[in-house]
């Protein structure tokens, strides 16, 4: 069971998550038109020196190929997560990124809404290394809300890409989520945040890892 945790703001915090057994540590990187996230240079610093057992992930909301390539060149992540809006179809962009960076793994976030989400996920077969099954409401991701796990379970079963389940997961519901969906991994952001949302509550992360791996 892969454990992915977003989002970190310091190198010390990233190392602490790695020490807790987190497999993927994520940073949101800002882009043009989106007034959120850290700079690519800052992301590189945050994720530098992680042990080989823990992969640094950079998340971008951008769908612009030039901007994505610039981000990868600066931040040098092991995994790139594309969280562009659901109406942005990115297989061609992802192939271009892969051509430039053959060893980079790419995650495509998929909005879990209805049966059309299954067909949408299938368009990334042979392109994405991972899917991130996430909630969409007034925004895509980081909503703190769960979605229809039955649809996620059908994606896991019917799409040939390892799927990481996200959307409102925390220590209190991750066991049930894993039992229902049987994903390759689980992701937590809002429900393992500190009270002010500007860092991770390490005790909640510890409980999340423990509960996820026990299921």
> Cα(131)–Cα(138) distance, rounded to whole angstroms?
21
How high is the pLDDT of residue 196? Answer: 85
pLDDT digits (tens, 9 = 90+) for 158-205: 999 999 999 999 999 999 999 999 999 999 999 999 988 788 999 999
Q: Which architecture, in CATH terms, is 2-214?
A: Alpha-Beta Barrel (3.20)
CB 182 within 8 A of CB 162: no
Q: Please tell me the predicted confidence (pLDDT) of residue 36.
A: 67
CB atoms within 10 A of CB 13: 18
Per-residue pLDDT reduced to its tens digit, 51-68: 999 999 999 999 999 999
Residue 81 has φ and ψ, to the nearest 5°, of -110, 120
**pLDDT bracket for residue 34 (50, 70, 90):** low
- Express as a percent the part of the chain with pLDDT over 90: 80
| Residue 132 DSSP SS3 | strand
- How does the average pLDDT of the chain come out, rounded? 92
pLDDT tens per residue, range 116-140: 999 999 999 999 999 999 988 766 7
Q: What is the pLDDT of residue 31?
A: 67
Confidence of residue 147 (pLDDT cuts 50, 70, 90): confident
The per-residue b/e assignment along 16-46, b for 16 or more CB within 10 angstroms, e otherwise, is bbbebebbbbbbbbbbeeeeebbebebbbbb
Residue 139 pLDDT:
66
Mean pLDDT across 99-120: 95
């Amino acid at each position: 069971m892969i454990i992915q945790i977003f989002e970190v703001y310091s190198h010390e915090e990233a190392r602490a998550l790695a020490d807790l057994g987190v497999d993927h540590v994520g940073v949101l990187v800002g882009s043009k038109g989106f007034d959120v996230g850290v700079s690519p240079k800052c992301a590189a610093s945050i994720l530098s020196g992680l042990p080989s057992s823990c992969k640094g992930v950079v998340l971008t909301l951008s769908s612009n190929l030039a901007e994505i390539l610039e981000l990868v060149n600066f931040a040098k992540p092991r995994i790139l997560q594309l969280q562009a809006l659901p109406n942005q179809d990115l297989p061609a962009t992802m192939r271009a990124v892969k051509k430039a960076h053959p060893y980079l793994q790419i995650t495509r976030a998929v909005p879990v809404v209805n049966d059309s989400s299954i067909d949408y996920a299938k368009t990334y077969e042979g392109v994405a290394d991972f899917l991130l099954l996430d909630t969409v409401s007034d925004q895509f991701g980081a909503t703190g809300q769960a979605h229809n796990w039955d649809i996620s379970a059908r994606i896991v079963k019917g799409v040939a890409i390892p799927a990481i389940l996200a959307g409102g997961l925390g220590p209190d519901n991750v066991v049930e989520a894993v039992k229902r969906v049987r994903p390759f991994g689980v992701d937590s952001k809002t429900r393992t945040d500190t009270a002010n949302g500007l860092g991770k509550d390490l005790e909640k992360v510890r409980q999340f890892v423990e509960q996820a791996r026990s299921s």
